[in-house]
Amino acid sequence: MAKSKKQSILDTALELFVRDGVDGTSIRAIAEGAETAEGNIYRHFKSKNDLARKLFLECANHFRTAFKEAAGQEKNPEEQIKAIIREIFEFAFDQKKEFAYVLIVHHREEIITKEILSKPLPKDIFIKILETGIDEGKFRSVDPNIAIAWIIGMVQRSFIFMQSGMISLSKEDLVDQTIDAALRTIKA
């Protein structure tokens, strides 16, 4: 089945936003890549920032669903954290562009609006698990947002270093060692 024009626009925008950044990508380039007229983009999206925002939400929802499914298979917070870290790596390896885009865009004020922040984001699942672990005395008392930043930073840099050849571990060893390091930063 052929892709819809809107999906073609989203796919092209994702490719270009990851490669050139949101600011470095023009509506014209998106239209050319999606093999459509610029006007067709404006039928689906109010502006480039609206397109970037909707694309972020699509990627973040995909990421959040994967987190939720991974964490839902485990009962205790430590195992849930392990499952989520594994899922982040899986997402990074299997959905490289979406992973890169979520990490690139989540800091941009003109894209990440109060409306987006009011929706469930992947970090919200993480925060709930960390808070439960802190309440149960399994994790040390730390701001969950800081703990998430530490863990995501570990995963992101490990992934980038592996992709660039700076780390010669197997994927499994990389994931296991990152999980071990992450847990050491949050355990009580």
The residue ranges of the chain whose pLDDT is under 70 are 1-2, 104-120
The predicted-structure confidence for 115-154, as pLDDT tens digits, reads as follows: 655 566 777 888 899 999 999 999 999 999 899 889 988 9
SS3 (DSSP) at 36: coil
pLDDT for the residue numbered 31: 95
What is the full DSSP assignment across 84-102? HHHHHHHHHHHSHHHHHHH
pTM value is: 0.80
The predicted-structure confidence for 65-74, as pLDDT tens digits, reads as follows: 888 888 888 8
What domains, with CATH codes, occur in the chain? Answer: 1-45 (1.10.10.60), 63-186 (1.10.357.10)
Let me know: does 53 contact 61? Beta carbons within 8 Å.
no
